[in-house]
Each structure stands twice: as C-alpha cells, then as structure tokens.
Structure 1
Amino acid sequence: MIEITKANTTPDYKQIETLADSIWRAHYIPITGIGQVEHMLKKYQSAEAISKQVEKEGFEYFVLTFDGINVGYISIRKEKEWLFLSKIYVLSDYRGNKIGKTAMQFIEEKAKSYHLKTIMLTVNKNNTNSIKAYEKLGFINVGSVVKDIGNGFVMDDYQMVKRL
C-alpha cells in the first residue's frame, strides 16, 4: 500500500534528509560526482534547508510510504503559472512498485486543486532514465537551464513541462 503524507515537522525533515542522502549518493554520484552531490545535499536537502524551504520559500514536502516503510519523497511549490515539481525521489530497491506513478497522480491532483494547468520540473541533462520516464508521463522538454549553485558547481538541466 502506498501512502503520501505531508512533511511539516523537524522529524519529518530529518527523515527526508536521510532518504535524500541514500538516494542522491546512489543516483547522482555517477552523473555529477561526489563533490556536487555533497554540496547539494547540504544546501538543499538537509533538515535545516528543508525547514527553510517550507517556512520561507513556499515549498511543500511529502513522504512516500510503501507498506509502512518510508521509501521516497516529493517537493512541490505553487507558482503563478504552474506547479513546480522540485523533487520526486524513490529508493532504488522500491522502484517498479508504482510509487512514482502514484506520486505523479498525487502531484497532478495538487496542481488541479491549485487551479493550475501545467506542471514544470528540471532534470539533469545526463539523467537519461529520468528524462525517459518523464517523457512517458507526458512531459515535454522545452529547453536548457543552467544555474550556478555555488562552490564552483552548476545545475545543467532540461526544463520539462506537462499540460494537464
């Protein structure tokens, strides 16, 4: 059984920090290298950073649970023209259980509840499996986005959108 629960406490944020550490190290070190992964985990996925994003930047975080085990998380933010899908991650051992698909349905419902007709995300240009998965879900690549994230690192992404 898949459950999606809003994260809004420090213990929730610490759980997401732990999930992020495991997921990001396994998935992104081959793509961006360990230095950038460690920088991004500290800057964006520490419990302190998540708390700031929720309290000051308008992000919402949700924990994904499969059969009672925390296996992933989502982060979204309502923008003027679209719902920004900032993060959707599932532990590799739990992929293939329709968790990501269920999470995307949840995200689409959130967008509709906010009266938004578009979901937008960014994905690393070398993250080919995720790009293919997003395309299967109806997302379209609308161009490149390069963002300086400090310490000599950049996010070199594609921006993808899905119209609802």
Structure 2
Amino acid sequence: MSPRESPTVRAPTADPDATRRLESVDATSATQSDRSVERVGDAYRSQVKVSGTFRQEFDLSEYPFDITVLGARFGLLGASLFGVVLSMRAVSLTGTSFGVTLVDQIHLATLLHTLVGVGCTSCVLYRWADPEAQTPVRRTNTAVAVATTAAYLIANAVSTGLAVT
C-alpha cells in the first residue's frame, strides 16, 4: 500500500441483528417489537421495544425513599452539621459576650434539629430491611420530620421574639 492510499474502513451495517440476539435472563416471557435502525454519521443505532413479564419486581410506591436517597440525606446532614459547627466556632471567636446569645440559640436549635435528622435517618436505614416495618417507618419518618421542623421554626421564632422585645 502506498503512503497516499488509506486502508479500507468497513462501516457497520444497518442490519439490526444485535437486537435480535438480545435476551433477558430474568424474563418469564418477553416479546420484541418496533425494531428500528438509525444512521448517525458512519455508525448505526438499533433499538427494540421489549415487553414481558420479569421476575424482578420493582415497587415504585417506595421510589423516593430508597437507599440512595437515604445515603444522600446522610451526606446532606453531615455537611449541615459541619457548617453549623464551623459557624458556631466563627461566632465564638469574634464575640466576647458571656451567656447564650440569640445567634447561639439559633445555632443550638439548628444543631439539635440536624442531629434528630441523623438519628431518624439511622433508624430508617436500620428498620428499612424489614418489609413489614416499611410502612410504619415511613409514617414515623414523616411525623418526626414535620414535628422537628415545626419545633425548630417555633423555637427560632420565640428566641427572635424574645431578643427583639
């Protein structure tokens, strides 16, 4: 081959054989329909609609309340604790007053609220493995979230009201 000649490159074909060989090992029955092939540049994309009955059940009624979300909640709560502690430390370095100030009260209320969230999330993770406990755990989680948030807001409103008057 001379330097001016380029090697022959074979582009993929439009034959959707790859989708015909598709198998679902957890399907009790599966059908394939609506095959299509689309050319994108020098390549082809094939797709197929697969319908059937699969042995794995996906309970989407529990969707927003899964392990990934709980892990993200732990990360967010951990970051909140870090932020509150840093803010408390910064305020204590700049102030020279004795006693508990309004800013200290707000920090302590925030710290308590966040720690209750960590405790509730830990309980949810511990109890979530038992399928019979999932409904009560969800109710408890919602009740704790509403109650602690209401208590947090009321505590801050009272603290602020007493500081202003």
TM-score range, shorter chain: under 0.3
Higher relative helix content: 2
Higher relative strand content: 1
TM norm structure 1: 0.23
TM norm structure 2: 0.23
Higher relative contact order (CA 8 A, sep 6+): 1
Q: Look at both structures and tell me which one has the larger radius of gyration over its CA atoms.
A: 2
